Structure 1
Amino acid sequence: MSDDVYEAFAVRYAEGDRNGAEVFIGGDPHDQPIPISYYIWILCNSSRTIVVDTGFDEVSARKRKRKISRPVAEGLEALGIDRNAVTDVIISHMHYDHAGNDGLFPNACFHLQDSEMAFATGRCMCHRALNLPYDAEDVVNMVRRVYAGSVRFHDGDTELFPGITLHHMGGHSRGLQSVRVKTKRGNVIIASDVAHFYAHLEDRRVFPYLDSVSDALEGYESVKRLADSFDHIIPGHDPLVSVRYPALSPLTKDWIVRLDHAPGTP
């Protein structure tokens, strides 16, 4: 495989249900529980392995009343990844479900937008409506990494490695970033929480926990421009991701799926 072409995986580690008002501004007319999934993503080739987001642990699961289906470490093991050997972790944003599991990657450099760190440690965190999705300990742990020289900050869009680019989006959080990765089927966009569900993109509806409605809507257009097609966009929390994409193996159905293969392929 070329140095700039990657295999890409979504690893589903937790699940839960939300009501319509917790998923869409204005609620949902069907007024029934909406399943939500929690993922991390893995990008790898013969030259490097990159982890996108770190998920949350059992302590956070109990605190937030979430259910861990398979711990993140178990998914890494199933992929044959030595977490101690991972050298680069991209944090899409610092909400508890994307930046927890402290210590899981002790030797990694963490890649973060300048504006996300400023947001998560600044005056906006005085407001409960904005600090609710953050965990103070996760933020403090990231500050410790900064002082240890283990964080690399990015200001806007940048090429991280050949075939992998970071794209500042904002909207859901001030420094939210998506990841574009070159795969054998084309450019796939790990949208993360630019869009929690396919329905957000399809219906131009907005998730209610956010920093800016206008930036969230503009983010939809940005990921569409960056992706080779709509089928190349991977939303952050949609259970359909683990249904539409082929499993790594029969043993990983609904758990680990391949994003470098087209949806619906065996």
Structure 2
Amino acid sequence: MNSGIWIYIVPLAVNLCVAVVAKALKWLTYSGAASALVVGFLAYRFTGPGGWVLLMLFFITANILGKVSRAVSISIETGIQKKGGTRDWAQVMANGGLAGASALLYGLNGGRIALVMFGVAVAASTADTWAGEAGILSKRPPLSIRTFRPVPTGMSGGVTWLGTASSLVGSIMIAMAWYATFADYSDPSWLFLASIVAVAGAIGSIADSYLGATVQGHYYDPERKQITEHETRDGVKLELCRGIRWIDNDVVNFLSNAIAVLVGSGFSLIVL
């Protein structure tokens, strides 16, 4: 067999195994598993095993935190959040699509800036997911990032000290792993780039909260007398009370990830 074929077979086989296991664990739906296979393949093929491990670091920790938070949270059962813990294709692409695209860009000789974009995309998704999942565990009620008034647990746009701290830890963790994986330790500019990955990742989480509190569609459920992310209840369209109808949490995740990548790549131009 042509040795060049293995650079495609190995990434495909590894990520197929991950997709199958994730589906069996109910971390992903069938569409989510297929999307994760694509994103994982791009990361492994174009950034190498190290870049793929970086992506898996986000994926595994996000799912473990999600299972823990949902075990003690009532936000899903009370109908606030639109989706549960099993991620579909839209959730996978919203959180991993730009990481996969950045990996592809790097493989097409995008240089270090594409590598920074990849790191920022993973850091932003990690920061946002850790903030949301850890924030649900907070004993203090979340505050709206826009008005600083209390909001129900699980409501998009709400922030807590625990969630914010977890967001920073998650972003820094990815930045450190990114540096350890890709950096030329003799070149001090890599430390600056790793700092950009950490800061831009945290900015992405903040952007997610702000967009969630402003433009994400929220609806009033008269039966449960609460605001929810669901557009309908028992087939009946609910009244839009805030935001834009077509902007849901998946769109917000993608937009905040894009903001983080743009910020990270912009600051990187200072060094590169």
Smaller-chain TM-score bracket:
under 0.3
Using the size of structure 1 for normalisation, the TM-score is 0.26
Larger radius of gyration: 2
Task: Select the structure that is richer in strand.
Answer: 1
Q: Which has the higher helix share?
A: 2
TM-score (norm 2): 0.25
